[in-house]
Amino acid sequence: NAGVTQTPKFQVLKTGQSMTLQCAQDMNHNSMYWYRQDPGMGLRLIYYSASEGTTDKGEVPNGYNVSRLNKREFSLRLESAAPSQTSVYFCASRPNSGNTIYFGEGSWLTVV
């Protein structure tokens, strides 16, 4: 019962480097999400995918791209990392019926 799995858990990047955060869920959920968490800001939605093949911007999409590779996987890419992207990133998924959103364990990203 893996649920929502994110990799890597920890990463340090230099300014300008690129990287991809991977997310996979094994619950056959249609919808997937990427959030970022910053101190005093709660969780803010970066991008989401309501179903396979679709993606939409959330509250804070600038500097990020996403790919819904298939129903299981939803990746988040930083093309040119900036210190402002230092954050904790959470992936989540939701079934088509039912209202509980399931979260991964988070990815701690530091950009220096």
Binding footprint of other proteins on the chain (CB under 8 A):
30-31, 33, 35, 40-45, 48-51, 58, 90, 92, 94, 96-97, 99-101, 103-106
Minimum gap (Å) between residue 44 Cβ and other proteins: 8
Q: Which residue has the tokens 């804070």?
A: 60
Q: How far apart are CA 22 and CA 59, in angstroms?
A: 20
The Cα–Cα gap between 95 and 49 comes to: 12
Q: Closer CB to other proteins, residue 14 or residue 42?
A: 42
Tell the smallest beta-carbon distance from residue 106 to other proteins (Å): 5
Least distance (Å) between residue 43 CB and other proteins: 4
Whose CA is closest to 22, among 30, 31, 11, 12? 11
